[in-house]
A = this chain, B = another copy of it.
Amino acid sequence: MKNVKIAIMGMGTVGGGVYRLIEMEGERIAREQSICLEVKKTLALAYSVEVPESVKAANVQEIAEDPEISIVVELMGGMEPAKTFIKTMLEAGKTVVSANKQLIANAWPELEAAAKKGGAGFYFEASVGGAIPIIRTVNTSLQANTIQSIEAIINGTTNFIMTKMCDEGGDFAEVLKEAQDLGYAEADPTADVDGFDAMYKLSILSSLAFCSRMPIDKIYREGIRNVSKKDIDCIKSMGKEVKLLAIGKKDGNKVQLRVHPTIIPKEHMLATVKGSFNAVFLKCSMADDLMLYGRGAGDLPTASAVVSDVLNAATQEAPAYARFKNVEGEVDPEICFDDNWQTGYYLRVQGGDAAQKAKAALEKRGIQIAQEIALDGDLALIIDQAHEQEIQAAVQEMGGVASLLRMQ
């Protein structure tokens, strides 16, 4: 039996979940894995669960200087003080397990440098897709594959909202309010609704999948605020659904990275991902299509991923780091980030003159309209294939459109 003493920094929903998980499953884990987990210290301003006073650390040094603590779990979220705290732990030689996608997406090279300096491990399975073991799958099950594309529902809040809007109707503002009342959306929903959270996760996941650093400033990002009931009704009538997808594609050295509402066929596996569930769909050179589906958030599901990292860290001989050059501000010069991707489009314009103008602007650029759908007064134009920049130029010439959505 190996005794592993850990500390948890941040005792909100997920921190409390990790604490409770160890209470509930610790005995079985010890029996089956021969690892006895003990939460020796916690550090937090507020606690979501009851913790003995003797466990509460007065400050970060108390944890960093405790030679018995080998693994520190960071679940504070946000940039600071999480970054400073994690670096302190890593440089002190303590392995860190974190779910902090914002921090990792923004400061991974700096954190990894600290880990290497301290000879410590740095794990973050829970940072993408909650309970879904997508990071471990990419790292330890798909090494034989060139990963060609990622299409992922990796934000539960927006998937909850899109599902409600698609399945039950309702306008964005109404459904957002409901999601807030149910605790699925924060009072300030920006991080979720505007696609920041999905962007952070895509940066982490695509870096691992494409084995090259994919910085957030290379990701096109558009949230779901502008998806209207009118569009959803039309899209449903076409036998399709809308999802906020995080998309990464790599073809040779050409990479496209984008987060935006995406129209997908009802038959697509991702269309069946409802409510706050997440899923990651990969196309791989050898394994072909692969999808992982599960809870993308929540106290215990996220804790499941955190504790799997803790257990793997406790049994791993030597820490593993990114398999690519992970330096701040540097990207592989061979990679060409492509913002002129080719895909399908859905444009909604006003009828009459506006519609004529829109069609002319498309026609001028050789963009073919596959289908026109009348939408009381408006017109939806369906385009099977076009380049993003051509569409943008056409929309500018039209003087804007009521809606512009991308189709898979």
Contact = CB atoms under 8 A, between A and B. Distances in A.
Interface of A: 21, 24-25, 28-29, 32-33, 125, 131-133, 136-137, 140-146, 211, 267, 269, 272, 277, 284-295, 298, 300-301, 303-305, 307-308, 311-312, 317, 323-324
Nearest to A277: B289
A212 to B, nearest CB: 10
Contacts of A284: 131, 304
The CB with the most chain B CB atoms within 10 A, among A29, A132, A140, is that of A140
Given A32-B211, A308-B144, A286 B300 contact: yes
A29 B143 contact: yes
27 contacts: A21-B286, A24-B285, A25-B285, A29-B144, A32-B323, A33-B143, A131-B290, A133-B137, A133-B140, A133-B141, A136-B137, A140-B140, A141-B305, A142-B304, A142-B308, A143-B311, A144-B304, A269-B272, A269-B293, A277-B289, A287-B294, A287-B300, A287-B301, A288-B301, A290-B293, A291-B294, A292-B293
Contacts of A132: 290
A304 B295 CA distance: 26
Given A137-B137, A286-B300, A293-B293, A307 B144 contact: yes
A146 B28 contact: yes
Contacts of A140: 133, 136, 140, 308, 312
A151 to B, nearest CB: 13
Q: Which 7 A-B pairs have the closest CB atoms?
A: A133-B141, A131-B287, A144-B307, A286-B304, A287-B304, A290-B294, A291-B293
The CB with the most chain B CB atoms within 10 A, among A28, A33, A142, A145, is that of A145
A256 to B, nearest CB: 20
A255 to B, nearest CB: 16
A146 B305 CA distance: 14
A304 B145 contact: yes
Nearest to A34: B323
Contacts of A133: 137, 140-142
A303 B141 CA distance: 11
B285 A289 contact: no
B300 A289 contact: no
A317 B320 CA distance: 13
